[in-house]
Structure 1
Amino acid sequence: MKTITLHLSPRTLLRAFAALLLAGAASAAWSATAPAPFTARYQVLRNGESLGEATIRFQASGNGEYEYSNQTRGTSGLAALLGASSEETTRLRWRDGVPETLTYDYAMDAAIKQKHRHLAVDWAHQQVTVDEGKGPIRYDSVPGMVDRNTLALALGLALRGGAKQVVVPVGVKQRVEQQQYAVKGTESVTVPAGTFTAERVTRTDADKPSDAWYAPSKFPLPVKLAQAEGGHLTLLLVSFESP
């Protein structure tokens, strides 16, 4: 069984939705080049009922840097009524064959609540700064660390490289978390984008269950995600476009 250390990042679709993805980073235990630009669209369900839609984009931004963005909006039920939406944008680089976060911005807006977070990594001084408008929080960075927004991409690249167990140092609000993931089996999964033979990946160090199904030979992102937190959220791949 091949084991690697991956520095990625999870992430939240919307406070009302709960987390869209997990997050983490990558180490020198594996190496990958940046994928081609892509746009992926997901249907968001809560307790089996349509709640909204999510769009994830990856593209080069020049000077050896890349942008990974996740935009989610409520289209049904209370989420639509409240005008709920969220946006996450990560600026990252590829260093020694693995992604590293440079900055991460999160904004959630609804009629009754707003939330914002800015994370920046000073790699020259090995320091992370997080600010949610109440003063900065600082802690030491970890080589290869990325924010929670980009787990889906980095984990997908690790699976494509043959990984079956993954340790994920994730830069969160106050520290770096060592999150753990493992491939638990292969299953047939049907989503709006089609039917796929997928690897089911589970986070093994958390009390609240979360699973992601990947077809790593086809896409760097999961075809399905399921999470109990936030009201049994499910994300289903609708389309994946890459030039």
Structure 2
Amino acid sequence: MSTFSPSRTFVAGLVLALATSAAFAATPPQPFTATYQVLRDGEAIGQATIQLKAVGDGQYEYSNDVKGTSGLAAMLGASSSETTRFRWTGGVPETLTYDYKMETAIKQKQRHLQADWSTHQVSVTDNGKHFSYATAPGMVDRNTLPLALGLALQDNKRSVTLPVGVKQQIESQQFQVKGKETVKVPAGNFQAERVERTDSDKSFDAWYAPRKYPVPVKLAQSDGGNLTLQLIGYHQP
């Protein structure tokens, strides 16, 4: 199973920009739990649980856990987990650490990213290989990317550029609102804003109802498989 992580999957400081604007959200995000149905090529294969928690000192933990529930994904015991700790500073979040783990009966993957903002260095360990590069103000990671986009839309941004820390470097990823569409998902029907990535030929489409939720109601992308997340439920404590 190629799991869907809302940065791939889903695939998020952070500078969200409209043109050259540097900041986007003055109010810290509120804790929540969201559940999603995971589909591959249109068939349900699992469920994802995404959770945001405040952990004190202006820091947050953002987790994304996916479990295979049917078909080959269930047979192989496929699961993945992504956990990011970020700080809320200057009205924007910045990634501090990011951990990814994927397991099946026949394969395992792991990645750990740490941003040292005192030395402005990012260190990455990916399946035993080590990489390092310089930080960028407002850097996010692939796990929190969909949350970052949602926060930008809540601030009425229509075009967003994000510095995303990946394995070997920071990618400047660009996204744009392409219009409104009616989307039907298990959580209901939504008049949603469709966001596309515009700097890459890798398919990435996310549908947001930003007045209701900071995360997508639907997310689809081809990188890592034709995977789709559809919102089942959203809860705030």
Amino acid at match of 1:79: A
The reply to whether residue 21 of structure 1 matches residue 10 of structure 2 is yes
The reply to whether residue 185 of structure 1 matches residue 179 of structure 2 is yes
Q: Counterpart of 1:228?
A: 222
Query: Could you tell me whether the CA contact under 8 Å between 2:67 and 2:79 is conserved in 1?
Result: yes
Q: CA deviation at 1:31?
A: 2.7
The reply to whether residue 46 of structure 1 matches residue 35 of structure 2 is no
Amino acid at match of 1:20: T
Query: Could you tell me whether the CA contact under 8 Å between 2:13 and 2:86 is conserved in 1?
Result: no
**Which whole-Å deviations, capped at 9, do the CAs of 1:23-63 have from their partners, x for residues lacking one?**
59325332332222100000001111111000000011122
The normalised TM-score by structure 1 is 0.90
1:154 pairs, out of 148, 151, 160, with: 148
Query: Could you tell me whether the CA contact under 8 Å between 1:65 and 1:91 is conserved in 2?
Result: yes
Q: Aligned partners of 1:190 and 1:131: how far apart in 2?
A: 39
The reply to whether residue 121 of structure 1 matches residue 103 of structure 2 is no
The reply to whether residue 57 of structure 1 matches residue 47 of structure 2 is no
Query: Could you tell me whether the CA contact under 8 Å between 2:99 and 2:110 is conserved in 1?
Result: yes
CA RMSD of aligned residues (A): 1.5
Query: Could you tell me whether the CA contact under 8 Å between 2:23 and 2:91 is conserved in 1?
Result: no
| 1:124-203 matches, cutoff 5 A | 124-203=118-197
1:108 pairs, out of 98, 102, 106, with: 102
The normalised TM-score by structure 2 is 0.93
Amino acid at match of 1:31: A
SS in 1 for 2:157: coil
Change (3 A) 1:75 1:173: same
Q: Aligned partners of 2:230 and 2:222: how far apart in 1?
A: 15
SS in 1 for 2:144: helix
Q: Aligned partners of 2:30 and 2:4: how far apart in 1?
A: 29
SS in 1 for 2:9: strand
Of all paired residues, the percent bearing the same amino acid is 61
SS in 2 for 1:154: helix
Q: Aligned partners of 1:24 and 1:96: how far apart in 2?
A: 9
